Each structure stands twice: as structure tokens, then as C-alpha cells.
Structure 1
Amino acid sequence: MLFSLHFSLPPAITPLPFKPLSHVPHHHHTLNMLPSPPVLKSPLCSTMEHFTLNHHGKEEGLDGGVEVDQTLPLGLRRETMPRHVAVIMDGNRRWARSRDLPVRSGYEAGVRSLRTIVELCCKWGIKALSVFAFSSDNWFRPKVEVELLMSLFERGMQEDTGIFFRENIRISVIGDLVKLPQALQELILNLEETTKNNTHFQLIVAVSYSGQYDVVQACQRLALKAKHGHIEPSDIDISLIEQELETNCSEFPRPDLLIRTGGEFRISNFMLWQLAYTELFFAQSLWPDFGEAEFLKALLAFQQRQRRYGC
């Protein structure tokens, strides 16, 4: 299902150092006090043998043996790996239509691709992956398609919540979640609470999300703080705004690399603030066809670039 993580690990295995992610409280429980447009969402998965953390912070298999593969494909350099990768998973429906399959088949194939990318992120030392699963604009799609996406996501979480703890993966869901079915909202809150102390890897799923929504809700929160005398308008700066963005749930709130599949050359209202200095990679592959070879190509392209951060 959506969140089935069963990682099969290769033989060459060494411990992977990591720095625990800091937990910054989410705003989901207060979103209903601020008017905001709809937003995105996304699922996750992977296929490796289970690993956990021992009391010394080392990564171990369930039998106590270290099971994290640090081996990188030829050409990749660990010192220049992105810490945070964001993905616009475009092309699920086109993939299905090109094969005369129902739309559901396209989304299910897309979940399989997501499993692969999550596995590779864990194996190659990437610390965070953000996926654009369901945008605010997606609410205007046919009702049957919206209900399908919601049911797939809900079913996956119901079945696999415990797996994220065993894999030491933290799940964060960002977006205007009050627009989701109440049962799904409760599942999301439970999943975030269950995994909030996991430190090996973070999956950030954007659901009912848009970049404009994120900036607007941050401004509204700052306006309320100013109204109640907690800050002065002159105090508002880049740092304060970033503290109110929904990506404050991550130690690495700004993606180093954005990948968009499906052959389109746009960012479609995704993380507009956070992508200010992000490197962009546009893949021709439809998302269900995006696998290890395509991901490696994107990472190699990233490592060949000289990041200037506006300079």
C-alpha cells in the first residue's frame, strides 16, 4: 500500500552518521483560525529490510547488526549530496492513459516510484524528501478522482503507521489540512505524533498545499502576533516569516534540489518561498517511469552545478 516500507539492503554495509532532526511544532491544530486557500498532499514508501537505532545512535538491523548501505553509485560524491530534495510528481494520469489503463493504475504506479526514491534517499544519505502529492488546485478535479486519492492515502497510513517507527523515518504532512476529511486529519496527526522523534530520514508530504497558501498563512500568523503586541511590524524579517512557514517542521526547510517529472518546465505554485535558491532539474520521464537511473542523473547534474545563492 501507500506506506509499505520494506527495504532490502545490499551486502556492503557501514553505519551512516546522521544529525537528529529538530522538531518544530506544526500549525495544523490552529489552521482553522486563519482563512486560507486549499493545498497539496503526497504518499510515501520504500523497499528495504528493517533497521532501527540502538541507544548509541548507530543504525542497526532488527537482529542488532548494522544494515545501512553507504555505498554511492559511481560518480556521486557524498560531500556534495543534497540534504533536502523536493519532487513534483507529475505524469501519473498521462502514464495511465498512454497504456489504456484507469487513472487509479497511474497513481498506484506512482506510489511504486515513490517507494523507490524513498529507499534511495535513505540509502544514499539524503536527509529529507518533500513530495507534492495534492495541490490546492487539485480540489477542482473530478470528485471521483479526489476521493480516490484521499482513500489511497488514508488506507496507506492506516496499514503502515508502525513501519515508519521501525524504519526510523519521520513523516510530516503540510498544507491546508482542515479541508481534508476529519478521519484523515486525525490519522495524519497520529502519524506525525508517532514518528516525530525519528531521525534517520524525513518525508514531507504536501497535501492541499500551494506555495501561495503557505506564504499567506505565515503572514496572517505574524499579523495576529503584531495585533496582540507580541511583535512589532518592524520586527518582521525573513527569519520570522520562515519560522511561520509550514516547512518549519524540518531541520532543512529549503530544498537543495527540486525535481519535476513529466516534461513540464514550471514549479506549479510549489514551495515558492523555499525554492528561492534551489537548483531545478526537469525530467522528461513521467513519474511512474522515474526510477534509480533518472534519480541518479538528477543528482549528478546537481553535483556539477556551482550554487551561487543569488551572488
Structure 2
Amino acid sequence: MNNLLKKIDYNNIPNHVAIIMDGNGRWAKKRGKLRSFGYEKSIQSIIDSLNACQELGISYITLYVFSYENWNRPKQEIDNLMDLFYKNFDNSLEEVNKKKLKILVIGDIHKLSRLIQKKLIYFMDKTKHNKSGTLILAISYGAREEILRATKNIAEKIIKGKGKYSIKDINYSFFQNHLYTKNIPDVDLIIRTSGELRISNFLLWQSAYAEFYFTDILWPDFRKKDFFEAIINFQKRKRRFGKI
């Protein structure tokens, strides 16, 4: 671990890292368990990633917890996942609060049960003054849905604004302010576990200039050293943002 830390340039740390936490079901299946068992065992991977962020001074981390498309999975699996969320929210989010992290949630949380919505709102309010960093939970989230939602909201403002807004007002900043992530900086690095090479409708707008890191490690096996290796790989890239 110390050897990895020596390779890290602390002057080139990403400000915002996002993780597609993939491979939970496959990890469980390899062990002859239900898919939900993989999600249950992935909590340590989340803790390790949060600890790595704090150790490196990364200000924002977004976790792809449950996608908008995940609602299409079998009802029993969804019920198991929601039950797991509900049972683990208190301990997990209290741990986040101890780390002095602010919790934000992005996505269509109205599709979640009222009990889960209340817990999320409670912890967002409880941690809103924390200053050590920000944990963004993407739950019932889809990037296309987010962009459509923003477009509809802007159109409604122009139609009902009685001249207050016009087409000329729509620029990059105006549109960005209608996204779930309106006060969050763009993503610098997206990590995806399990060997899949796609972004699965995740932060399409926010990742316009993000670097991508793919690893074959299944999410429940992902540890702090693996996070550090992703950062080292990121630091080998030359980020030009369209320039020469």
C-alpha cells in the first residue's frame, strides 16, 4: 500500500471521482448465493473508497447505487435490494457522517418507497454542514432521464415565464443549473468494475471530459489499493480539454 502511495502525485488529484459499482450479482453467483448477497458484501468496498478519497483529499465522490433501468429487474430482486438499502442506511450513512462528509442524492427518488425517501432526506439534512467532502448517491438515476427532465423544466419556464426567460437565455450554465448536479463540479475520473466497457447511462453530461478506468475486479472485491491504482492510472493521462 505504501509503495502505491509513493507513486501518487498529490498535485494532480482528481476533484470528482465517480464509480459504477458493477459485478455484485456475479460475485454472489460465483459463491452460490443470491445476487443480493453481493450487494450486502459490497459495503466494505464503499468504505474503502471513501477512506481512499479522504486520504487523497478528493472532494467529491459519486456512487452509482441504483440506475433508472434497474427498475426493470425482477420484482423480487428489487424488493431484496430496497430491503437491504433500508436496513443498512442508518449504519452506513452514520459512518459517512462520522467522516464529516456531506450526503447528496441525485435521481428520481420519488420512485422509492416513502420510508427510504425519508431516510435519504433526513441524512441529506443532517450532513448538509459537513465540510470534509461530498458523497453523491445516484439512486434511481439515469442520465438521459436527467437531461430530459432539465429540458422539460427549461421549456416550462420559457412557456410560463411571461417573458422572464427566452431561448437566448439557454446557454451551458443555464442548462447545467437545471441538472441534478447543478452545484457539483464535472467528473474527472469514472471507475467501472467487473470488466464491462460501457458507462450505462451514467452522468453523460457531467463526464464530457472525464477519464475512464476499467478494471476486471468485481465490486465486492474492490479495495483501497485498487482505488489508488486507478488514481495512478489517471495521473498518467494528458488531459487537453480540446486543446493541443
Q: CA RMSD in A?
A: 1.6
The structure-2 alpha-carbon separation of the partners of 1:160 and 1:281, relative to structure 1 and needing over 3 Å to count, comes to closer
The aligned counterpart of 2:168 is 234
Distance in 2 separating the partners of 1:173 and 1:121: 18
Does the residue aligned with 1:74 lie in a helix, a strand or coil?
helix
The aligned counterpart of 2:103 is 171
The structure-2 alpha-carbon separation of the partners of 1:128 and 1:140, relative to structure 1 and needing over 3 Å to count, comes to same
The aligned counterpart of 2:63 is 131
TM-score (norm 1): 0.74
TM-score (norm 2): 0.93
Which blocks of at least 5 consecutive residues in structure 1 are unaligned?
Answer: 1-71
After TM superposition, give the deviation of residue 163 of structure 1 in Å: 4.2
Alignment check: 8 A CA contact 1:172 1:249 kept: no
The aligned counterpart of 1:147 is 79
After TM superposition, give the deviation of residue 98 of structure 1 in Å: 1.1
After TM superposition, give the deviation of residue 161 of structure 1 in Å: 4.7
The structure-2 alpha-carbon separation of the partners of 1:159 and 1:111, relative to structure 1 and needing over 3 Å to count, comes to closer
Matches for 1:30-45 after TM superposition, within 5 Å:
none
Does the residue aligned with 2:202 lie in a helix, a strand or coil?
coil
After TM superposition, give the deviation of residue 240 of structure 1 in Å: 0.7
After TM superposition, give the deviation of residue 112 of structure 1 in Å: 1.4
Letter in 2 for 1:233: I
Matches for 1:90-169 after TM superposition, within 5 Å:
90-159=22-91, 161-169=93-101
The aligned counterpart of 1:88 is 20
The aligned counterpart of 1:306 is 238
The aligned counterpart of 2:208 is 276
After TM superposition, give the deviation of residue 133 of structure 1 in Å: 0.8
Cα offsets for 1:124-163 (capped at 9, x unmatched): 1111110111111111111121112112222222345544
The structure-2 alpha-carbon separation of the partners of 1:92 and 1:160, relative to structure 1 and needing over 3 Å to count, comes to closer
Aligned length: 239
Distance in 1 separating the partners of 2:92 and 2:228: 28
The aligned counterpart of 1:11 is none
The aligned counterpart of 1:247 is 181
Distance in 1 separating the partners of 2:93 and 2:201: 29
Cα offsets for 1:248-306 (capped at 9, x unmatched): 243x2x11000011101100000111110000111111111111222121101111111
Greater shift after overlay, 169-178 or 222-231?
222-231
Distance in 1 separating the partners of 2:62 and 2:217: 19
Distance in 2 separating the partners of 1:201 and 1:183: 26
Letter in 2 for 1:240: F
The structure-2 alpha-carbon separation of the partners of 1:160 and 1:135, relative to structure 1 and needing over 3 Å to count, comes to closer
Distance in 1 separating the partners of 2:93 and 2:205: 31
Cα offsets for 1:210-245 (capped at 9, x unmatched): 110111111111112111223111210111111111
Distance in 1 separating the partners of 2:130 and 2:194: 32
After TM superposition, give the deviation of residue 93 of structure 1 in Å: 0.4
Letter in 2 for 1:95: W
Does the residue aligned with 1:240 lie in a helix, a strand or coil?
helix
Does the residue aligned with 2:83 lie in a helix, a strand or coil?
helix
The structure-2 alpha-carbon separation of the partners of 1:162 and 1:93, relative to structure 1 and needing over 3 Å to count, comes to closer
Alignment check: 8 A CA contact 1:277 1:309 kept: yes
Identity %, equivalent residues: 38
Does the residue aligned with 1:80 lie in a helix, a strand or coil?
coil
The structure-2 alpha-carbon separation of the partners of 1:158 and 1:136, relative to structure 1 and needing over 3 Å to count, comes to same
The structure-2 alpha-carbon separation of the partners of 1:257 and 1:160, relative to structure 1 and needing over 3 Å to count, comes to closer
Alignment check: 8 A CA contact 2:45 2:220 kept: yes
Alignment check: 8 A CA contact 2:51 2:224 kept: no
Does the residue aligned with 1:264 lie in a helix, a strand or coil?
coil
Letter in 1 for 2:176: E
Which blocks of at least 5 consecutive residues in structure 2 are unaligned?
Answer: none
Cα offsets for 1:89-109 (capped at 9, x unmatched): 010000111121222221112
After TM superposition, give the deviation of residue 178 of structure 1 in Å: 0.8
Cα offsets for 1:62-100 (capped at 9, x unmatched): xxxxxxxxxx81110111000110000010000111121
